[in-house]
Chains A and B, each alone.
Chain A
Amino acid sequence: MTDEIDIPAILQRTAEILRPQLARNPLMIGIHTGGTWIAGYLHQMLGLKEPLGTLDISFYRDDFTRIGFNPQVRTSSLPVNIDDRHIILVDDVLHTGRTIRAAMNEIFDFGRPASIRLIVLIERDGRELPIQPDVAGASMKLERNQHVKLTRTGEDGGPETLRLSIQEVGA
């Protein structure tokens, strides 16, 4: 199922969809880890001048008191003031919507943006919150115990080094 998904082509298409918004001077933010890769490519393709923002939403998760968190938390970095800015929020996979909920809460702790648009590579079924993407590269229907995972071979490769795989948990 993942073989049919051409990630470089999706990124090209997404960049073209976003291009008209450049007039609003948007600020791009990726969610660790896969989202920052996708955001990095889009950021480069669109030639955005301001640095890419990154979010690690570990401190905003709603399951912290149940499962704790991984000590390998990365630092969130929004290098410019986000007040009144148009934000393009990027993640690799949209599933339950809980990650996006946490990311929006964190963004609002940095300031009050004018708007937030959600861009994802893969949108799958299983939403638990009323959150939908503005742009999704591809859609998937999966079993409850299946997860899509994005990996990258090599540190600084291009979009062709991204791989999608489907993992089964608790099978």
Chain B
Amino acid sequence: MLGMLKGLMTTMQSHFRKPVTIQYPDERPDLPPRYAGFPGLIWDANVGEPFCTGCQVCARFCPTQCIYVTMKDNPKVGDGTSKRRKIVDEFELNVSCCTQCAVCVEVCNFDAIEMTHTFEMASYSREQVMNLQDMLSMKEKGGP
């Protein structure tokens, strides 16, 4: 009986403690800076283009092969505004198989990709999941 009473007292005490949960959509979770959501490219505000040169190292190292990148000649090289000769043309992330492992961030030679804080990926269809990358708008870095 005593052990049971001890348990009952414990639950009674915790009944008067403050709840630890948050009301999610109203209150947002407090994410630390390193929080790894989906990877996203970073925007070079000094030049007005992404840092990414489309070198495909992330696509090669991705354990689930969910990144697709193509490269093109940088049009801004001609007028001297940019030093990047090649620049990313298309960057696609298959959100439905990305595991947020951050290997792409680690292998990137240009520090052009980082883990965003995007974590809400619930959607009604597979197509919508593929389109979620619209949410991953490029984060600006640098700038005047």
Q: Do A and B interact with each other, yes or no?
A: no
Binding site for A on B (CB under 8 A): none
